[in-house]
Amino acid sequence: MLAINVQNTRLKEFVKDVDSGLVLYMVDVAVNRIDEISNLEYSNNPEVTNKGIDHTIPAFP
């Protein structure tokens, strides 16, 4: 894993939820499968909430 110790400032918005015991579940999928995977997650766990989609920019261009 490259850059495992590099802090991702975009994760700051989730700190409060994680500290309160919620699980942060990040999924890396192909753009053309976003709807499919989202629907699969919602159908298997109705408590799942989608907090957005990140840009498709490589971490180290």
pLDDT tens by residue, 27-40: 888 889 989 988 99
Rounded to whole angstroms, what are the CA distances from 58 to 15, 21, 34, 42, 47?
23, 30, 18, 27, 30
Q: By percentage, how much of the chain surpasses pLDDT 90?
A: 11
* Structural domain boundaries in the chain: 9-44
Amino acid at 22: L
pTM above 0.75, yes or no: no
DSSP string, 1-61: -TTTTS--GGGGGGHHHHHTTPPP------GGGHHHHHHHHHHH-TT-----------S--
DSSP state of 22: P
Mean pLDDT of the chain: 81
pLDDT greater at residue 36 or residue 3: 36
Between residues 1 and 12, the one the model is more confident about = 12
